[in-house]
Amino acid sequence: MATSLARISKRSITSAVSSNLIRRYFAAEAVAVATTETPKPKSQVTPSPDRVKWDYRGQRQIIPLGQWLPKVAVDAYVAPNVVLAGQVTVWDGSSVWNGAVLRGDLNKITVGFCSNVQERCVVHAAWSSPTGLPAQTLIDRYVTVGAYSLLRSCTIEPECIIGQHSILMEGSLVETRSILEAGSVLPPGRRIPSGELWGGNPARFIRTLTNEETLEIPKLAVAINHLSGDYFSEFLPYSTIYLEVEKFKKSLGIAI
């Protein structure tokens, strides 16, 4: 019995030693292969010349609110860092410049034909106007709104100029072919009659505009519209189909 136990223990010791030797052998082989094997060359990807480098800034230009989605005409220029929210309509030939915010969450905002809202303007509207006048903000055609202006539930009739840093409060009305000087404040319910120049804080009548001055008002709006066309062509469309169009034109010998 003792002899058989000794044989079994001897066999187990021998098998354990042999298995350790086998493990060491394969480990040494693996190290040798790893050190002698030449590394595979890394494949270099050459970017296509047609590849578009998009710049994602997390800025949302169009913000729908419930059932209301801002509407922008095809030929209207809206700068990339403009914010349009809710019930906002930007009509043909108009332009909204850098940094402006048009917040139509409570009521409608309309930018009429060939009008422009310049840099850093804030346009919004209230639920209702305390004056009983319409609470929506209406900027009619051929209107120029200067930079850094604040418009709230006001109405601007066709062919007017609002100077920069001006404030138009609830229910205020600027009748056609009028000018409000820069830095002016138009109190709630105040009306600027047609063909007059107003200014100050609060805004007061200064003088009647000449016929030449009233004719220059729509010309300014048209000039800014032409200027916005140069900016409009600088921004790429949302898709990359224009790349295929350019290739097709080149194949036909058409100048781009």
Distance CA 167, CA 87 (A): 21
Element (H, E) at 244: helix 241-251
Phi and psi torsions of 250, nearest 5° = -65, -40
Element (H, E) at 218: helix 211-232
The answer to whether the annotation marks 136 as part of a ligand binding site is: no
The answer to whether the annotation marks 103 as part of a ligand binding site is: yes
The answer to whether the annotation marks 230 as part of a ligand binding site is: no
The answer to whether the annotation marks 124 as part of a ligand binding site is: yes
Distance CA 164, CA 233 (A): 26
Element (H, E) at 33: helix 2-36
The answer to whether the annotation marks 67 as part of a ligand binding site is: no
Nearest to 235 by CA among 54, 88, 91, 50: 54
The answer to whether the annotation marks 226 as part of a ligand binding site is: no
CA–chain centroid gap for 117, Å, is 15
Contacts of 122 (CB under 8 A, 6+ apart): 100, 101, 103, 149, 150, 151
The answer to whether the annotation marks 234 as part of a ligand binding site is: no
Decide the pairing of beta strands 204-208 and 196-199: antiparallel
The answer to whether the annotation marks 148 as part of a ligand binding site is: no
The answer to whether the annotation marks 231 as part of a ligand binding site is: yes
Instruction: Summarize the annotated binding site for substrate as residue ranges.
Output: 103-105, 118-119, 152, 164, 231
Instruction: Summarize the annotated binding site for Zn(2+) as residue ranges.
Output: 124
Instruction: Summarize the annotated binding site as residue ranges.
Output: 103-105, 118-119, 124, 152, 164, 231
